[in-house]
Amino acid sequence: MAEGIKVGIGFATGRKSFKNVLRTYMYNLKESELTEIDRIRLRLFVAYDLNYENAEPEDFIHIDTDIMEEIDHACFIGEEETRKEMEDLVLRGIISEKEGGLLFGDGYASKRNIVVYEALKNGIDYLIFLDDDEYPVAVTKSRKYAVWGGQQVLRTHLEHIREADITNGYHCGYISPIPFIAFNEDLNEQDLRTFIEALSNDIVNWNTIKSVMENGGVTYADTSILISDEAEEVEEVNRAKFISGSNLTLNLTDPSRVLPFYNPPNARGEDTFLSTCLGERKVLRVPAYTFHDGFGAYQHLLLGVLPTNLNYIKADTKQVVERFYKACVGWIRYKPLYLYITQPETYEEKIEKVRARLEATLPKICRYFGRSDFMDVLREFEHYHSQVKQHYSDFLATQEAWGKITAYIAEQSESKTAI
């Protein structure tokens, strides 16, 4: 009897509340009747970070039985489990210790890589990454009040992933960490635009940010996408096919076509850097939305409470300003490497433009928010610019090391098939 299609659900998380999100997706799957199809087998992979909320392993491992009843097997991966897997690969001579550190060391790229590796090792066909602050609902402003609709996320991905290497859905809600900003004599619209252009890439840019700000920080779902069954191929822009790190499915049926995540040390952008590797891959945008609860203000959505209006996120609380600050630092840390990969011919010219924009606007940003530490953005930029060649070397070495692992997995699979 055929074993069926193995589908993995992956989380790279530091939030204990991920279990509430998982519960919602399990109910969502039941409602879609996907789990009643005999040939679908679900497995859970959770790479957890104990430091984010000062957590214990039990906060992630102990999951209520009603959540787990549709899942055949669960794999929980902490630092110790990751270290053992890395040591095993080194002992077998598949990768070096340095390569193991690049693939499975610190950071969220490494957590995603260990999830993908475990999924490949377990013969998973398709792996969907979900985020611990995204929910399977969409919100529109097609009327004077917010209108909500459930989304069959996993089912939609499975309808399209067989014909692609990667499928990626859409996001609504509080995607942007940039709050609504009331301009004044310290900071006008042109100042903010110049600052955002210094941080931006081809997806995060002033036009998209401005429209979101005008909606109070909310991105609403496109109704034409909500009623569509069609997927669209993601086109390459400046050597990147942009994807996000969640509402994302990887086709693992051919390990040689699976690529690793990477981010510079202490930076994010692992989805952006994977985007720059997808020129020879088929990437589809599928009509499934998730609601991003970026400020943690709408967890009651998981209990079925649907607000009729979404709040403006204003820059008037310490929490909101801190999130904006961390986002600015995170974006600028990966900006040099992103430019080095996508626009190497004009790299130095682009770097000079970013530097000039930051120098012109950061003093104004500091005055507006009453925080001198926004000047850290310039210092971080200069540091990551000085390290860009090393980071690029690590980026290439990560892909080379991953190729050794996927070749090994393919060999093991062929050996089992031959037996």
Burial profile 135-165: b = 16 or more Cβ within 10 angstroms, e = fewer = bbbbbbeeeeebbeeebbbbbbbbbbbeebb
SS3 call for 201: coil
CATH topology for the 5-180+216-314+387-418 domain: Spore Coat Polysaccharide Biosynthesis Protein SpsA; Chain A (3.90.550)
Residues whose CB is less than 8 angstroms from the CB of residue 66 and which lie 6 or more positions away in sequence, other chains included: 23
CA atoms within 13 A on the CB side of 345: 2
The pLDDT value recorded for residue 2 is: 45
The pLDDT value recorded for residue 413 is: 74
Task: Measure the CA dihedral 410/412/416/419, to 10°.
Answer: 110
- Which pair of tokens denotes residue 167? 């499928």
Q: In this structure, how many other beta carbons lie within 10 angstroms of the beta carbon of residue 205? A: 14
Q: Where are the domains of the chain?
A: 5-180+216-314+387-418, 181-203+210-215+315-386
Enter the pTM of the model.
Answer: 0.95
Q: In terms of residues, how long is the chain? A: 419
- Which pair of tokens denotes residue 418? 């031959």
Across the chain, which has 419 residues, the per-10-residue mean pLDDT values are: 80 94 89 70 95 92 90 95 97 97 94 98 97 96 90 94 97 89 93 92 76 86 95 94 96 97 93 97 98 89 91 88 93 95 96 98 97 97 98 98 96 68
Residues whose CB is less than 8 angstroms from the CB of residue 11 and which lie 6 or more positions away in sequence, other chains included: 18, 22, 44, 45, 46, 47, 48, 115, 129, 130, 131, 132
Helix or strand holding residue 137 (H, E): strand 137-140
Question: How much is the CA Rg of the chain, to the nearest whole Å?
Answer: 22
Q: Which of 312, 294, 298 is nearest to 216 (CA)?
A: 312
CB 369 within 8 A of CB 317: no
Using CA atoms, how far apart are residues 44 and 36, in angstroms rounded to an integer?
17
